[in-house]
Structure 1
Amino acid sequence: MVAVRIRRAWASVALTALVVAGAACQPGAREGEDPGADGSASGQQPGTDDPSASPVGDGAATALPDDPSATAIPPGTTIDPAMAVDPPAPFRAPTANPDILIASDASLDPEVITRIAEIDGVAEVLPIGVGQVVVESRVYDLAIVDPGTYRRFVSAEAATNDEIWERVAGGELGVLPAVQRRLPINAEEFVRLGTDGEDPIIHVGAYAPQIPTIELVANAKWGEKLGIPETNALLVSTGTGTPQAVREEVQEAIGSDLAPQMLDIASRRGLDPDVFQTVVPVGTFADAVGTFTYTPTGGGRIEPAASWVREHIVTETVPILGQVTCNRYLMPQLKAALQEIVTTGLADEINPDEYAGCYYPRFIAGSTSLSNHSFGLALDMNVPGNLRGTVGEMDRGVVAIFKKWGFAWGGDWSYTDPMHFELSRIVNPG
């Protein structure tokens, strides 16, 4: 059972609460946390009043509104009119089963969509956009949708709730309820979509069920802003039929470069282990990752495509740490940061024996969400004195140098991870 909650005020006042049964979701824990008894992440509570826990920190390019808690939003008001689209179409019964999801890094060929729609046993298809945003070391699956058509593919209770889809059309974010406790949403219900201080901030409009594997949903204006194509994915419903009955024909229609994700499997036990998965990151990670395909291998591990590994992962010698294995896009900035740390006399502040690695292809514990270590774009240092949830002992001079060279620091996050540095922007050491 999950709550569908609508946000109507800057001060995070819930005016509507519905209990929705049968929502398909995959709750998980923060990286390194044990899941709670209900399957959600333990420890971190959303909506903290501590300003340091806000995703809008020092150096942010976009600040929150002045005293937002003093301003209630009247019904029908759009928080950011520039990000609004037309109001959603009224709900059209019946709902549609989200049975298969096909995702690509580019817009799907309309002829391919037509061929799939004409397969005997396919009842309905819906083009959408999908991409992944990295927030505080975790990869979130984001769908870019037309709220009026997508609503038919979620649970009946959520599909018929007009206010959820009005909020999404108005430029706000829809969030899977299980994600609330791990997504770093601040006290005013804003979250930054990305790792850089210049990445955009969006207001959370509702917590509501989504299709399996999708955690966040936004409208087409946000797709444009984030660089996610509107039609790089396709939802397929087989109505009262069995998705497995059309799987081979769907695979033939899309070709060998893509894989149909069977959502009936995802809703029961996580990602389909029989097919490779496609990740389409946005922001800086898109530049460094490209299209990332992998296959779940069990035990929380994944196996990225060998071609991707050959193109992106390298082992090189860097100052202080010695040999490291990371994404090749990370290496120039890592070398520059560590060399400056040596030059400024801070090398002793990093213990190479306490370095815990960079490239580690895996899911975050207890979930099917990828750690950005899977891309080789993060590293953990001085582990014993910088455990998660603590202030840590990381020298602030070291932190400042890493930030200068394009890294975000986990010590700034709502749930701190002071051992952790990750690529947040591309900097050319020149």
Structure 2
Amino acid sequence: MRSWGAGVLALCAALALAGCGGTSPKDPKPAAHTSTGASTPPASLADVAMPRPGKLKPPILSADILVQSQDPLPPSLVAQAKGIKSVVAVDQFSLASFYSEEDEVTYAAVDPSAFRYFAAPATAQTAEVWNRIADGEIAITPELKAELPITHESVTMGNDDDAETVHIGAFAPLVLRSKISAIVNERWADKLHMVKNNALIVSTGEKSPLTAQKNLRKAVGNRGSVTLLALHFDINAPQTAILTGGSVARAVGSFTYTANADGTVNPDKSWVRAFIRTETVPIIGRVTCNKAMIPQLRAALNEVVARGLASKIHKNEYGGCYVPRYIAKDPAQGLSFHTFGTAIDLNVPGNQRGTVGTMDRTVVKIFEKWGFNWGGNWHYTDPMHFELARIVAVR
């Protein structure tokens, strides 16, 4: 049986943590173990543990292009990517997102022995990070440490009530300039209901990635997105959103989308046709939401009316449901959960972020009964916000 170190490993690197003492990517220096709570990970990790990677054999690779699809990438496409003249190396893995409170977290399920070569140099050279990933823990970027609700050194992989909880093994910079902010090993893919092998990371070494990106876009076509991992955000590049977490995530579907300069996004029309509906509900009237949410929203509002609380929800202060955009309209912050049409904002003026808010607590309990989480319970509150957390049968 493996021996678990006490606490979470924190990797101190100049690119990741300010004030860590001038560590450079070529001179990795793991910090002392630090504990944020219990030091014993869940016993269930034995089910997802895999062999630890062996010794790192240089060179470490640059991560230049990210390919992602809603479906597994076929072997023929992977072979085609390997055959591009400027491509030095590729690695296929699984990529998806979950929401923690209102933050989108994009995570990868990988073979640690292969994927580590594409990580930030300091992280790639720190064996303990990859050992812990192989053992079944999760590594997350240091920036997420302050943003995620962490309980007993663990993070819940989604807002759904039935989402899996994974023990944190390390805080470390992962893939530079990419949206990947968490990594688990590939044996988690089934438990997390990920689409397997739907992503590819590509290194072009010292050669420009632009030619490879162009060739990959031709090869991928409309089957997915091809993103240059550069310091700028390519607003014209199609992106892919694959949500995981639990039963709600599986009900709302996945899609590709394009971005607009104003921070809004355009999910593909076929997904919108399949999942987004405009219907009439009590109190508010016409709403546009994901079809998975509307029955529970209607049931919650019917109960609010039946219990004489309709005046506690102000129709003219409704803030929307399906609103496809980035959080704060900033691509760096990821997609808003409203993009999936499974969140709703009520009584907006009196319930701003970071406040206790004025939302009636009996109304909150009614919504929770009907499968919603309330943003007023978050560590950084958002009391106007309700989002679907579990599927409830409505009769």
Q: Is the TM value for this pair above 0.5? A: yes
Which residue of the other structure, out of 164, 174, 181, is the alignment partner of 2:139? 174
What is the rounded CA distance, in whole Å, between the counterparts of 2:153 and 2:345 in structure 1? 29
Alignment partner of 1:230 is 2:196 = yes
What is the rounded CA distance, in whole Å, between the counterparts of 2:288 and 2:110 in structure 1? 37
Equivalent in the alignment of 2:253: 290
Report the more deviating stretch, 145-154 or 171-180.
Answer: 171-180
Structure 2 residue matching 1:256: 3-state secondary structure = helix
What is the rounded CA distance, in whole Å, between the counterparts of 1:48 and 1:358 in structure 2? 39
Conserved in 2, the CA contact under 8 Å of 1:164 and 1:205?
yes
Conserved in 2, the CA contact under 8 Å of 1:20 and 1:158?
no
Alignment partner of 1:355 is 2:314 = no
1:359-405 deviation per Cα after TM superposition (whole angstroms, max 9, x unaligned): 11111124341110111110011223322223323222212221221
Structure 2 residue matching 1:191: 3-state secondary structure = strand
Equivalent in the alignment of 2:241: 279
The residue type equivalent to 1:161 in the other structure is T
How far off its partner does 1:256 sit? 2.8
* Superposed structure 1 runs of 4+ greater than 4 Å apart: none
Which residue of the other structure, out of 65, 85, 90, is the alignment partner of 2:50? 85
Equivalent in the alignment of 1:193: 157
Unaligned runs of 5+ in 1: 1-6, 25-46, 50-67
Equivalent in the alignment of 1:58: none
Equivalent in the alignment of 1:342: 305
What is the rounded CA distance, in whole Å, between the counterparts of 2:182 and 2:13 in structure 1? 19
Structure 1 residue matching 2:189: 3-state secondary structure = helix
How far off its partner does 1:201 sit? 1.3
The residue type equivalent to 1:370 in the other structure is L
Equivalent pairs counted in the alignment come to 371
Alignment partner of 1:414 is 2:379 = yes
How far off its partner does 1:168 sit? 0.9
The residue type equivalent to 2:164 in the other structure is P
Alignment partner of 1:387 is 2:352 = yes
How far off its partner does 1:73 sit? 5.6
TM-score, length-scaled by structure 1: 0.80
TM-score, length-scaled by structure 2: 0.87
CA spacing shift, 1:403–1:93, aligned 2, 3 Å: same
Conserved in 2, the CA contact under 8 Å of 1:193 and 1:199?
yes
How far off its partner does 1:153 sit? 0.3
How far off its partner does 1:198 sit? 2.6
Over the residues paired in the alignment, what is the CA RMSD in angstroms? Answer: 2.5
Conserved in 2, the CA contact under 8 Å of 1:379 and 1:422?
yes
Alignment partner of 1:157 is 2:122 = yes
Alignment partner of 1:121 is 2:102 = no
Equivalent in the alignment of 2:6: 9
What is the rounded CA distance, in whole Å, between the counterparts of 2:35 and 2:184 in structure 1? 24
Structure 1 residue matching 2:180: 3-state secondary structure = coil
**1:15-414 maps to which residues of 2 (within 5 A)?**
17-21=11-15, 69=38, 72=39, 80-186=45-151, 188-211=152-175, 212-264=178-230, 268-270=231-233, 272-282=234-244, 283-365=246-328, 366=330, 367-414=332-379
1:248-305 deviation per Cα after TM superposition (whole angstroms, max 9, x unaligned): 32122223332311112xxx123x2122101111133433332221111112221222
How far off its partner does 1:180 sit? 1.9
1:99-119 deviation per Cα after TM superposition (whole angstroms, max 9, x unaligned): 111111221111111111112
Higher relative contact order (CA 8 A, sep 6+): 1
How far off its partner does 1:312 sit? 2.1
Conserved in 1, the CA contact under 8 Å of 2:11 and 2:170?
no
The residue type equivalent to 1:409 in the other structure is W
The residue type equivalent to 1:378 in the other structure is A
Unaligned runs of 5+ in 2: 18-33
